[in-house]
Structure 1
Amino acid sequence: MSESAADYTALAARFRPIFARIAEGAAGREVNRTLPLEPIRWLKEAGFGTLRIPLEQGGFGATLPQLFQLLTELAEADSNLPQALRAHFAFVEDRLNQPDSEERQRWFRRFIDGELVGSGWTEIGNLKLGEVITRVSPSDNGWLLSGEKFYSTGTLYADWIDVYARRDDNGRDVIALVNTHQPGVEREDDWDGFGQRLSGSGTTRFHQAQVEQAHVYDFSERFRYQTAFYQHVLLSTLAGIGRAVKRDAAAGVASRRRVYSHGNAGQVKNDVQVLQVVGQISSWAYAVEAAVQQATHALQRAYELHDSGDEALIQQANVLAELESAQAQVIASELIPRAASELFNALGASDTRVSKALDRHWRNARTVASHNPVIYKIRNVGDWEVNGKQPTFIWQIGNGE
């Protein structure tokens, strides 16, 4: 066993009992729309939010492949949770890419104390492409933030929100870190998507919310492989859903007693056609997880080179990280929804009952796969292969002409 594998085994062993507790209540939370406040608390108390913080600074020092493998295991238990923590891990990664400073140490100490970060980037409604309505204005004690965000994933569970805004004084696009524990921040559980219902992805409003002076910085300073990083959280979520589909298919077939008169065996678990379905699901889940995990190594390379000073190597690493995440996205977006649908060919009509919540796997997978349109990622990969054109790293969304 390699040293990294041994490290991962010890790291995963710390969290797997928590993942098991989370999995026990996942279907019930889905049926009753119960926010996973308690599971989030378990993860915070276990230090899950400090996975990437270096050992010498109080964290676990996980590599990026280790982080995303753990997120896959967490997604197998409940796919809402990795997505709810997506902004947190991205902000930690951004801090890791900045030079060491007292301000960075302050953030690490907050995370070691269990604090989490949520997301506030996307605006909906009648706005033009590239327009940013959320504004941050200078004040006597720092900044004041006003605006409204949707798809604000994880904010219901967060102590801080990573907000994309525009400065009133100079028009620059910035990141503002706003504390949620103040009257100026209003969080609403109004996400009405058919999947990932408990990821805390609804509306967040800012009413002259207070922001510390040091908590506003130019968006251009964000870590360069952020797009691939954000995508990898979704990819790990899809890989975890694939694991859950495989788990539920195998368990359902093993315990099923009712058979069809025109089937192939006296017990479903011995029916060769049903076993073929489970084998297909297992193989799809394996292929996706392998692709996702392979792509994490390109991200790790980008991280390791970020402060090397070799611009050519840094750019090459970032291009490969983006391309490999796109290729894995193509595979995962195709195969995991298929596996979640194929699940029902191994089971029966009784397994469509709402109380079993098996439909959540397809709904969640399809919702996650709808982020960052895969058709454009496929185009980027093809354009790179044929023309050597670099992929799209940053994009915006809004009304067209």
Structure 2
Amino acid sequence: MSTPRKSPKRPAIRTTSAPAAERAGRPVDRPADDEIWPRVTRELADDLAVDALARDRAGKAPFDEVARLQEAGLPALLTAPGPNRRGADWRAACAVVREISAADSSVGELLAHHYALSWSSRFLGPAAAPGPVRETASGGPLALDVCTAEERWLLAGGTEPPRPGSGPGLTLTPAEGNGGGWILDGRRSFASGVTVADRLVVGARPGGTGDLLVVLVDPAHPGVFTDAGTDRVGQRLAGAGTVTFDHVPVEPGHVLGTLPHDEHAVAPFTTLAPLALRLLLVQVGLGIAEGALAEARDISRAGQSGPVPADPAGDPSEAHGTAPAGDDPYLLLAYGELATAAHAAAAVVERATDALARGLLAGWSLGPEERADIAVLVAAAETVTGRAAVHITTRVLELVDGTAGADDRGGGPGFDRFWRNARALTAPTQAAHRLRDIGDHYLNGTHARLTLPV
């Protein structure tokens, strides 16, 4: 049975002043460096943080969270450079994902996948696609990121080939009749967003072999069935699930492009797609670490302020002062260690973000050497941030345990969710593989394998 499509209504979040056209949901042209995005992101993060624990424990499909994102306009933020660009660039998108993740990392992961998938048609190249997602008034093709912004879609899915032993994946067969197109069949699991998405971007092979076609699918089609992921250890509100496609038609204009079976036939710019998603997920991990550390600091401050005990040899009436917070030298040492780990991870992530942004601006002129350098920086960011996120979220459980405000579950008010989310997010990443690739590149100048987009 398909997942319901309607989102519940909720009171409006606190928003900054915006033009009437924007409040009405119509696109508004504004400079890319407009300060509205940081303000809107900060206010939405504050809004999500208020009930993050309650929503995590409820574990419901994130319809309400998506409604908050859409209300703030964040799914439409990322659009490619151009004279009429309404949104922001990749650096701004990374900053948004990081700040949202500090408040609620499930929502941050959902947004990360959406941003990466919204650029699918650009990564694949205009020459690769047999038809547009939609045509403009002048008859030209409209890129997926622009179409997504105008239609207010939330995207989910994935385009990577199936892992060995996981089955044939998704397959396409030619549609009968003069209209052309394809018929999509198969079953796949996805890490984020499929229970609430407006459109799915998936990769499938014609006949189950050969090159991979990336296609756009409407999940409201009666042949699309979504089963929500249940009993997840962490990232419970990311909208993960398994999708079954039963004889779903795909129009020619909804084929976004082709990924060659031979990785050496793939353009370096196209192979930035998996790096873009990996770096966005690194931003999620960094947000988890920073959010956990900030909340632990607040709990420690509150728990260490209290009445000064009276001196047994002194005047009892003098026992009314307040002890300064953070006098424990071991607590100061612990927070110094954790803050340093967070700062170090942030520095590595910023360097990788800048490198990827330059690669995206280079476009189809990007060379294999530049791509390899970007891949190494992203792998380093994954490794450093993954370790920092797990370490920080583990230590804060110890720091706030027994402190004022801690609940009967231990580890403060819901601090276990930071640890669970960090573990769930970083578990699929093999740090040893990343470090081996980094070492091979540093020592021998070898390029890491050109992984296909995810």
Query: Normalising to structure 1: TM-score of the pair?
Result: 0.86
Match of 1:215 in 2: 254
Aligned partner of 2:155: which letter? V
The 8 Å contact of residues 62 and 239 in structure 2, kept in 1 or not, is answered as: no
Show the 5 A alignment for 1:16-31.
Answer: 16-31=42-57
Q: Distance in 1 between matches of 2:193 and 2:33?
A: 29
Question: What displacement does 1:396 show?
Answer: 11
Match of 1:364 in 2: 421
Give 1:279's match in structure 2, choosing from 336, 340, 348. 336
Aligned partner of 1:223: which letter? T
Match of 2:314 in 1: none
Question: What displacement does 1:381 show?
Answer: 0.3
Residues 102-111 or 381-390, more deviating: 102-111
Match of 1:37 in 2: 63
Show the 5 A alignment for 1:2-401.
Answer: 7=33, 9-53=35-79, 54=81, 56-57=83-84, 59-60=86-87, 62-97=88-123, 98-99=125-126, 102-105=140-143, 108-121=146-159, 128=164, 132-139=168-175, 140=177, 141=179, 142-168=181-207, 171-216=210-255, 217-220=257-260, 223-256=270-303, 269-308=326-365, 313-349=366-402, 351=406, 353-354=408-409, 356-394=413-451
The 8 Å contact of residues 179 and 211 in structure 1, kept in 2 or not, is answered as: no
Question: What displacement does 1:120 show?
Answer: 4.0
Question: What displacement does 1:224 show?
Answer: 2.1
Task: Flag the structure with higher helix content.
Answer: 1
Aligned partner of 1:275: which letter? L
Question: What displacement does 1:13 show?
Answer: 1.3
Aligned partner of 1:239: which letter? L
Aligned-partner SS, 1:118: strand
Aligned-partner SS, 1:162: strand
Q: Distance in 2 between matches of 1:193 and 1:235?
A: 20
- Radius of gyration: which is bigger? 2
Aligned partner of 1:113: which letter? E
Q: 5+ residue gaps in structure 1?
A: 1-5, 260-264
Q: 1:234-264, CA deviations, whole angstroms, 9 ceiling, x for partnerless residues? A: 10001101111111111111111599xxxxx
Question: What displacement does 1:108 show?
Answer: 1.5
Aligned partner of 1:179: which letter? D
Query: Normalising to structure 2: TM-score of the pair?
Result: 0.76
The 8 Å contact of residues 252 and 347 in structure 1, kept in 2 or not, is answered as: yes
The 8 Å contact of residues 226 and 242 in structure 2, kept in 1 or not, is answered as: yes
The 8 Å contact of residues 285 and 389 in structure 2, kept in 1 or not, is answered as: yes
Residues 378-387 or 12-21, more deviating: 12-21
The 8 Å contact of residues 274 and 345 in structure 1, kept in 2 or not, is answered as: no
Q: Distance in 2 between matches of 1:20 and 1:319?
A: 38
The 8 Å contact of residues 122 and 152 in structure 1, kept in 2 or not, is answered as: no
Q: Distance in 1 between matches of 2:204 and 2:428?
A: 21
Q: 1:199-227, CA deviations, whole angstroms, 9 ceiling, x for partnerless residues? A: 11221111111222122231247822112
Aligned-partner SS, 1:242: helix
Q: Distance in 2 between matches of 1:119 and 1:106?
A: 14
Q: Distance in 2 between matches of 1:327 and 1:162?
A: 28
Q: Distance in 2 between matches of 1:382 and 1:363?
A: 30
Q: Distance in 1 between matches of 2:270 and 2:156?
A: 17
Identity %: 23
Residue 232 and residue 107 in structure 1: after superposition, are their counterparts in 2 closer, same or farther (change >3 A)? closer
Residue 153 and residue 171 in structure 1: after superposition, are their counterparts in 2 closer, same or farther (change >3 A)? same
Residues 345-354 or 148-157, more deviating: 345-354
How many residue pairs get aligned? The number is 381
The 8 Å contact of residues 164 and 176 in structure 1, kept in 2 or not, is answered as: yes
Residue 106 and residue 375 in structure 1: after superposition, are their counterparts in 2 closer, same or farther (change >3 A)? closer
The 8 Å contact of residues 26 and 77 in structure 1, kept in 2 or not, is answered as: yes
Question: What displacement does 1:8 show?
Answer: 7.2
Question: What displacement does 1:107 show?
Answer: 5.5
Question: What displacement does 1:306 show?
Answer: 1.7
The 8 Å contact of residues 121 and 143 in structure 2, kept in 1 or not, is answered as: no
